[in-house]
Amino acid sequence: MTQHVHNLGEQDSLFRQLMAEIRDAELQRDSMRFRRNLERAGEIFAYEISKQLEYVDREVTTPLGQARCRVLREQPVLANILRAGLPLHQGLLNYFDRAENSFISAYRKHEGDEDAFEVEIEYLSSPSVDGKTVILCDPMLATGSSMVLAYRALLERGTPGHTHVVVVIASTQGLEFARANLPDNVTFWVGAIDNELTPRKYIVPGLGDAGDLAYGAKD
C-alpha cells in the first residue's frame, strides 16, 4: 500500500474561502470564529474521508415501507493532539458522531535555546485502536515530530488497520518527515502546504499559533 496525500486546497471550492478566513490575522482576533472555522474545516475533511471508508447494506423502516441504505461498516476512532486539535476534532466528531475518541497531549520542551526544543508526549487517553480506522488530527504539521510521536503513542493501544492524518496547514518539511516516519497504510489530508519554517519552527505564511488563537496565550 502506498501513502496518499490529498490537498483540499488545490481546487477552487468553499474550502479555499474557509482557509482564507482561518489565515486572516484580523478575523483571528475573534477566537470563537477561529475555533468555529477550524471546526468547519474538520467537517469538510470528515465528509471527504467518508468517501474512502467501507459501507454495508442496511434495511431501514420508513413510515411507508422498507428502504435499502448504505451505512458505515464500522465507526473510526477520532484522535487529536491537545490542545490545538480540539476544534478540528469536534468538526470530525460532528459527522462521525458515533466514533470513539482518543486524546494525546504533546508539547514543545525548550531547554535554554528558545529555538531548540524536543516534542514530548505526556498523556494518552484512548480506546483500543487495534485493526480499526483512526483519524488523527492537528491543525499544524510543522516539523512533523508531534504527529509521528502521537501515532507511536497510539500504538500502545494496538495497531490501526488504516490511519488518516488530518492537518489544516502542513510545511513541506513536516510532511516529508511524517511520510518518511509513518507506515504505508497512512493517508494524509491537508488544507494547504507551505514551504517555509521560521527558526522556531512555525510555518510561514501559516496562520500563527493555532492553540493560542483558539484558547488564549499560554505562559
Checking if the pLDDT of 117 tops 70, the result is no
Q: 24 pLDDT band (50/70/90 cuts)?
A: very high
134 within a domain of the structure (yes/no): yes
For the chain, the domain total comes to 1
Non-local (6+) Cβ contacts of 48 within 8 A are 6, 8, 189
Higher pLDDT: 56 or 199? It is: 56
127 within a domain of the structure (yes/no): yes
162 within a domain of the structure (yes/no): yes
Residue ranges of alpha helices (H) inside the chain are 14-23, 31-50, 86-95, 145-154, 172-181, 210-215
Beta bridge partners of 5: 188
Non-local (6+) Cβ contacts of 96 within 8 A are 46, 50, 75, 76, 78, 135
**What mean pLDDT value characterizes the chain?**
94
Average pLDDT (131-151) is: 96
User: For residue 113, which phi and psi values (nearest 5 degrees)?
Assistant: -65, 120
Q: 116 pLDDT band (50/70/90 cuts)?
A: low
At 25-40, the pLDDT tens digits run 999 999 999 999 999 9
At 69-107, the pLDDT tens digits run 999 999 999 999 988 999 999 999 999 999 999 999 977
Q: 109 pLDDT band (50/70/90 cuts)?
A: low
Cα–Cα distance for residue pair 214/38, rounded to 1 Å? 9
198 within a domain of the structure (yes/no): yes
Q: 200 pLDDT band (50/70/90 cuts)?
A: confident
The CATH number for 39's domain is: 3.40.50.2020
Percent share of the chain, pLDDT over 70: 93
CA distances to 69, 71, 85, 109 from 62, in Å? 11, 16, 38, 56
154 within a domain of the structure (yes/no): yes
219 within a domain of the structure (yes/no): no
For residue 110, what are the domain limits? Answer: 4-213
CA distances to 22, 67, 108 from 45, in Å? 15, 28, 27
Average pLDDT (125-148) is: 96
Asked whether 214 and 35 are in contact (CB, 8 A), the reply is yes
